[in-house]
């Protein structure tokens, strides 16, 4: 008789965005005349930049020509893309990362979910609270936690690092020593960023504790302030303690194309065993490579034209972010984020719960956001709005909220 992975049964309810989708669909079905504006899920809305479209067209032509056809991609990614990443994302920023430490994938969600496979099941995990739920759920599935406690809305055995207004939404070093620390900056969902000095403290701590930091930098393109690091490898000593995850989704609009990468420095070891070789083994065994045409599109992200066009796209979203931030602030809301990230994190008014405010906004302003409590207990009483909508919809949504 087969047995299931019972760890899956520890996971409460469905995925946050399924719950939101269900509520919004039910409201839309009952109110077909209403124009609902969605500033909930972190999906982009601007079309792919011309440099990327051109690269896709060229690569598609190649695939139709026997002389240039490409079959299986190399497991770890094409050299042309890994070299571009190593040069522009890392060497140009003074980070010592080489192309052979970069593993191309279909995005940061799979990498952030899969990376835990190379670690022992008895590792102690630390996550921010609130948090991008994938880090937690994938460790639950792998059996690294106890049961879910409905009263505290946390999993037993997991270390939660509260990120609240009191600490400026920056996690503090936990009292209990973790083995694996997930950090995401600029942060989803709070939109908070970390200074280089504070990130250096985490790197120093991880090296001293023998812990690994899994650093999710999916939103680095949105950094606007100078003392905010774009990569954890800007910190000294990070090569011995940090894995970095990156995505093409938010900086280049690849949410539907799918492309990302993980960096595992060769010095990151436990005893004689390098995590680089374990991740290479895992990637080579379970993954057959991102499509050639998508990797060519990824290469175009690093071309002069691509970089210039994408700067404009990021600026477009950040203009939305500042419209939301300023608009809600002037209406008396307590807001943060939106400066180095496309997310605005706002305190719900009058002590409403996150879900009450979700319902209130949906029903009165026909605006969809994301309840902060869906990201962890310390998200309760908060609400996330994204800057990824069109400018026109963003303006209309903010004006509707202001008019409430
Ligand atoms: N990491 C964070 C923090 C995210 O917010 C998201 C998507 O919203 C991802 C990773 C997923 O990125 P990708 O589209 O590359 O899978």
97 and 233 both lie in a single domain: yes
196 and 212 both lie in a single domain: yes
Q: Is residue 347 part of a domain?
A: yes
Q: Largest Cα–Cα distance of the chain, in whole Å?
A: 66
CA 279 → CA 49, 75, 140, 241, 308, distances in Å? 32, 11, 20, 15, 33
Tell me which of 303, 335, 352 is where a domain ends: 303
For ligand 1, is residue 220 a contact (CB within 6 Å)? no
Ligand 1 centre and the CA of 118: distance in Å?
20
Q: What is the pLDDT of residues 208-227, one digit of tens each?
A: 999 999 999 999 999 999 99
CATH number at residue 348: 3.90.1150.10
In 3D space, the residue among 354, 338, 348, 340 whose CA is nearest the CA of residue 387 turns out to be: 338
The percent helix, strand, coil of the chain (3-state, each to 5) is: 45, 15, 40
209 and 118 both lie in a single domain: yes
359 and 285 both lie in a single domain: no
Compute the average pLDDT of residues 336-340. Answer: 98
Please, which residues have CB within 8 angstroms of residue 315's CB and are 6 or more apart in sequence? Answer: none
Residue 132: its pLDDT value, please?
96
CATH number at residue 291: 3.40.640.10
Residue 77: its pLDDT value, please?
97
66 and 76 both lie in a single domain: yes
111 and 211 both lie in a single domain: yes
Please, which residues have CB within 8 angstroms of residue 350's CB and are 6 or more apart in sequence? Answer: none
Q: Is residue 81 part of a domain?
A: yes
CA 195 → CA 170, 199, 265, distances in Å? 10, 6, 22
Long-range contacts of 9-14 (CB under 8 A, 24+ apart): 10/140, 10/145, 10/146, 10/147, 10/148, 10/155, 11/137, 11/140, 11/141, 11/148, 12/148, 12/150
For ligand 1, is residue 144 a contact (CB within 6 Å)? no
Q: What is the pLDDT of residues 343-357, one digit of tens each?
A: 999 999 999 999 999
Compute the average pLDDT of residues 105-119. Answer: 98
Tell me which of 303, 336, 359 is where a domain ends: 303
189 and 227 both lie in a single domain: yes
Q: Is residue 43 part of a domain?
A: yes
Rg (CA), the chain: 21
For ligand 1, is residue 127 a contact (CB within 6 Å)? no
Ligand 1 centre and the CA of 260: distance in Å?
9
Domain count, the chain: 2
Share of the chain above pLDDT 70, in %: 100
Share of the chain above pLDDT 90, in %: 97
Q: Whose CA is nearest to atom 8 of ligand 1?
A: 42
What CA–CA distance (Å, rounded) separates 361 from 363?
6
Domain encompassing residue 263: 53-303
57 and 167 both lie in a single domain: yes
Average pLDDT, the chain: 97
27 and 58 both lie in a single domain: no
What angle do the packed helices 292-301 and 50-63 form, to 10 degrees? 150
243 and 325 both lie in a single domain: no
Please, which residues have CB within 8 angstroms of residue 208's CB and are 6 or more apart in sequence? Answer: none
What angle do the packed helices 391-402 and 304-330 form, to 10 degrees? 10
Residue count of the chain, please give it.
Answer: 404
Q: Is residue 286 part of a domain?
A: yes
pTM above 0.95, yes or no: yes
What CA–CA distance (Å, rounded) separates 3 from 48?
45
For ligand 1, is residue 108 a contact (CB within 6 Å)? yes
Ligand 1 centre and the CA of 392: distance in Å?
25
Atom number, ligand 1, closest to the C-alpha of residue 260: 15
Compute the average pLDDT of residues 276-303. Answer: 97
Q: Is residue 82 part of a domain?
A: yes
Q: Is residue 1 part of a domain?
A: no
**Confidence category of residue 13, pLDDT binned at 50, 70, 90:** confident
Residue 16: its pLDDT value, please?
80
Tell me which of 303, 334, 355 is where a domain ends: 303
Q: Is residue 156 part of a domain?
A: yes
In 3D space, the residue among 386, 400, 331, 404 whose CA is nearest the CA of residue 35 turns out to be: 400
31 and 121 both lie in a single domain: no
What CA–CA distance (Å, rounded) separates 37 from 39?
6
Question: Which two structure tokens, joined as six digits, stand for 283?
Answer: 């990637």
Sheet architecture: strand order including 102-105: 102-105, 260-263, 242-247, 212-216, 180-184, 125-129, 159-162
Specify which residues 154 forms β-bridges with.
149
What CA–CA distance (Å, rounded) separates 377 from 383?
12
296 and 369 both lie in a single domain: no
Question: Which two structure tokens, joined as six digits, stand for 297?
Answer: 């599109």
Please answer whether residues 389 and 350 qualify as being in contact, where contact means their C-beta atoms are separated by less than 8 angstroms.
no
């Amino acid at each position: 008789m087969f047995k299931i992975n019972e760890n899956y049964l520890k996971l409460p309810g469905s995925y946050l965005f399924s719950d939101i989708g269900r509520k919004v669909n039910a409201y839309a079905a009952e109110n077909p005349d209403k124009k609902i504006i969605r500033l909930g899920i972190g999906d982009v809305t601007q079309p792919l930049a011309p440099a990327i479209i051109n690269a896709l067209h060229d690569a598609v032509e190649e695939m139709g020509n026997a002389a240039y056809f490409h079959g299986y991609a190399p497991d770890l990614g094409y050299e042309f893309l890994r070299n571009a990443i190593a040069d522009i994302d890392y060497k140009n920023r003074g980070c010592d990362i080489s192309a052979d430490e970069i593993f191309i994938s279909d995005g940061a969600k799979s990498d952030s979910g899969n990376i835990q496979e190379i670690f022992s099941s008895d590792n102690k995990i630390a996550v921010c609270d609130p948090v991008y739920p994938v880090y937690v759920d994938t460790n639950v599935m792998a059996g690294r936690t106890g049961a879910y406690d409905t009263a505290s809305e946390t999993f037993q055995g997991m270390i939660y690092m509260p990120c609240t207004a009191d600490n400026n939404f920056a996690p503090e070093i936990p009292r209990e020593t973790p083995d694996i620390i997930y950090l995401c900056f600029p942060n989803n969902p709070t939109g908070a960023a970390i200074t280089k000095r504070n990130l250096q403290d985490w790197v120093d701590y991880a090296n001293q504790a023998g812990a690994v930091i899994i650093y999710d930098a999916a939103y680095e393109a949105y950094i606007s302030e100078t003392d905010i690091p774009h990569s954890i490898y800007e910190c000294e000593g990070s090569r011995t303690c940090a894995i970095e995850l990156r995505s093409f989704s938010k900086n280049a609009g690849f949410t539907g194309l799918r492309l990302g990468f993980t960096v595992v420095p060769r010095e990151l070891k436990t005893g004689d065993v390098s995590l680089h070789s374990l991740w290479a083994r895992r990637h080579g065994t379970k993954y057959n490579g991102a499509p050639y045409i998508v990797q060519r599109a990824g290469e175009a992200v690093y071309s002069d034209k691509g970089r210039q066009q994408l700067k404009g796209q990021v600026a477009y979203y950040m203009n939305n972010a500042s419209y939301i931030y300023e608009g809600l602030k002037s209406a008396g809301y307590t807001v943060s984020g939106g400066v180095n990230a496309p997310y605005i994190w706002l305190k719900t008014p009058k002590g409403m719960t996150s879900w009450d405010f979700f319902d209130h906004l949906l029903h009165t302003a026909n605006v969809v956001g994301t309840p902060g409590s869906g990201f962890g207990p310390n998200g309760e009483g908060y609400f996330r709005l994204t800057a990824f909508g069109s400018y026109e919809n963003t303006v209309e949504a903010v004006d509707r909220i202001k008019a409430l």
